[in-house]
Amino acid sequence: MMITNICCIGAGYVGGPTMAIIAQKCPHIRVTVVDLNEKRIAAWNDPNVNNIPIYEPGLSDVVAEARGRNLFFSTEVDKAIDEAQMIFISVNTPTKTYGVGKGMAADLKYIELCARQIARVSKNDKIVVEKSTLPVRTASAIKDILDNTGNGVNFQILSNPEFLAEGTAVEDLFAPDRVLIGGDTTPEGQKAIQQLVDVYANWVPTDKILTTNVWSSELSKLTANAFLAQRVSSINALSELCEKTGADVNEVAKAIGLDSRIGPKFLKASVGFGGSCFQKDILNLVYIAKSYGLNEVADYWEQVIIMNDHQKRRFAKNIIKTLYNTVSGKKIAFLGWAFKKDTNDTRESAAIYVADDLLSEQANISVYDPKVGIEQIQFDLNYLETRSEAENLKGVQVATNAYEACNNAHAIAVLTEWDEFKTYDWQKIYDNMLKPAFVFDGRNLLNKAELEKIGFVYQAIGS
């Protein structure tokens, strides 16, 4: 049976873009993306396609093409489940904030709710696809719920983790390095795998579609993120040593990256990795390893997080130290708040933690980010519960452009590598700052020689 009706539960950073691309590439498949969040669904349905809730280069064009044709966004979850042959679960799986595994394990309550809802609603056989990132062996829990609370229909569970990176989601989905599909080794499991392979084969070359058993697929997702984050922590660890020894981390990264066994990508030293997944997935991996008594394995991966926390902290500490050991009452301009360029996502962004440390030292922060506004910034800071909401409001302003943010500032901190930051009139910015005018470049983005010539005191990561 060919799949002609797909439902995806969760219209977030993964569900939205992934389903938009499936719909665009497979006009014969009706794709309905559902979410409990009415505001989010309304934004996906906004007649002005530039108002969709997620900023990703190229995404609005894809949505414009497919929306209303075979791509639909809705809050009617039951209806979409009922009509679909294949249901993707793409809900959030954050780190638990309570109970056993607090601060480490993945919180699977949203996944379980989806499974129970699918079981309750389904009146015919369905393929359930784990798109969310899940701890290894979650498929067996989902199966248990489906088989014990359902209406006697048959479910096949597949694992199909998503590897897109934010900011490049559309290009990653158009031309993925690989698509991974895990399923049961039974004939029914193999048949379900093939049905999902057939969906992707509409645009992904079949040699890039990898099929495995469910557990390998689930674990590969956590492993991929752990390896990627480990590279960032590795180069960041060395960046501190570079600063002490006169080596330059950019030169070191280039020198080692030319070794084809190491490769050049993901070796950019920074103020620390952010994003909704690296930290959460590694903590989850650490938790799983510990739960099997594998303490050395757990400690090994935990170090990636410890290093990343250190990198964020030492960036803030260095600002304070360099500004004569006090930032109290001083205006510090933040260029960037998102966790990387070309996204409006701020989850776990290093900027949040650097701001938090500087606010504790009574700095006044003025932020400019091309895609992030005051509401989100205040939400991010309030979420930490370090101080009252009123104090966060008092300590952080948001500027409408970078020149305004930097006006009368003692220092600039570059937290996100937005391209536009490179194109500014840096002489003008310098002229309007207090002297000495400091730049702390947490992304090694700006031109050191040019800035120093203007008169800035410029500090980068790892040199």
Quick check: 37 binds ligand NAD (CB under 6 A)?
Answer: yes
Quick check: 354 binds ligand UGA (CB under 6 A)?
Answer: no
273, interface contact from ligand NAD, ligand UGA, none, CB < 5-8 Å by kind? ligand UGA
- Among residues 3, 33, 277, 411, which is the contact residue for ligand UGA, using CB under 6 A? 277
Residue closest to 276 by CA, chosen among 164, 374, 358: 164
Beta strand residue intervals within 86-206, DSSP E: 86-89, 126-130, 155-159, 179-183
92, interface contact from ligand UGA, ligand NAD, none, CB < 5-8 Å by kind? ligand NAD
Quick check: 35 binds ligand NAD (CB under 6 A)?
Answer: yes
Pairing of strands 71-74, 30-34: parallel
- Among residues 200, 273, 368, 421, which is the contact residue for ligand UGA, using CB under 6 A? 273
Span near ligand NAD by CB under 6 A; candidates 159-167, 198-206, 403-411, 443-451: 159-167
* Footprint of ligand NAD on 133-152 (CB under 6 A): 133
User: Under a CB-based contact definition with an 8 Å cutoff, are residues 193 and 200 in contact?
Assistant: no
Quick check: 174 binds ligand UGA (CB under 6 A)?
Answer: no
Residue closest to 268 by CA, chosen among 301, 309, 235, 222: 235
Burial of 64 (0-12, 13-18, 19+ CB in 10 A): middle
Sequence-distant (6+) residues with CB within 8 A of 34 are 7, 8, 9, 10, 11, 41, 73, 74, 75, 76, 77, 80, 81
**Structure tokens of 95?**
């780190």
- Distance, in Å, from the CA atom of 345 to the CA atom of 17, rounded to the nearest integer, reads 14
Q: DSSP assignment, residue 157?
A: E
In order, the DSSP letters of 66-101 are HBTTTEEEES-HHHHHHH-SEEEE----PBP-SSTT
Closer of 310 and 371 to ligand NAD (Cβ): 371
The single residue listed with the structure tokens 């969760």 is: 10
Quick check: 276 binds ligand NAD (CB under 6 A)?
Answer: yes
Sheet containing strand 126-130, edge to edge, reads 71-74, 30-34, 5-9, 86-89, 126-130, 155-159, 179-183, 209-213
Span near ligand UGA by CB under 6 A; candidates 111-119, 162-170, 355-363, 434-442: 162-170
* Footprint of ligand UGA on 278-307 (CB under 6 A): 278
- CB 282 to ligand UGA: min, Å: 11
- Among residues 7, 87, 114, 173, which is the contact residue for ligand NAD, using CB under 6 A? 114
Span near ligand UGA by CB under 6 A; candidates 240-248, 274-282, 291-299, 424-432: 274-282
**Structure tokens of 423?**
């194109």
- Among residues 30, 60, 128, 166, which is the contact residue for ligand NAD, using CB under 6 A? 166
Beta strand residue intervals within 168-261, DSSP E: 179-183, 209-213
User: Under a CB-based contact definition with an 8 Å cutoff, are residues 350 and 274 in contact?
Assistant: yes
Quick check: 225 binds ligand UGA (CB under 6 A)?
Answer: yes
Quick check: 342 binds ligand UGA (CB under 6 A)?
Answer: no
Build a one-symbol-per-residue string for 3-32: x at contacts with ligand NAD by CB under 6 A, - elsewhere.
------xxxxxxx-----------------
Quick check: 253 binds ligand NAD (CB under 6 A)?
Answer: no
- CB 55 to ligand UGA: min, Å: 13
Quick check: 43 binds ligand NAD (CB under 6 A)?
Answer: no
- CB 334 to ligand NAD: min, Å: 23
Helix, strand or coil for residue 151?
coil
Quick check: 277 binds ligand NAD (CB under 6 A)?
Answer: yes
Helix, strand or coil for residue 424?
coil
424, interface contact from ligand UGA, ligand NAD, none, CB < 5-8 Å by kind? none
Span near ligand NAD by CB under 6 A; candidates 158-166, 192-200, 289-297, 450-458: 158-166
- Among residues 90, 230, 270, 459, which is the contact residue for ligand UGA, using CB under 6 A? 270
Number of residues that bind ligand UGA (CB under 6 A): 21
Quick check: 162 binds ligand NAD (CB under 6 A)?
Answer: yes
Cα diameter, the chain: 74
Helix, strand or coil for residue 167?
coil
User: Under a CB-based contact definition with an 8 Å cutoff, are residues 91 and 83 in contact?
Assistant: no
Catalytic machinery residues: 277
Binding site for ligand NAD (CB under 6 A): 9-15, 34-37, 40, 77, 90-93, 110, 113-114, 132-133, 162, 164, 166, 276-277
Binding site for ligand UGA (CB under 6 A): 133, 162-166, 225, 228, 232, 266-268, 270, 273-278, 339-340
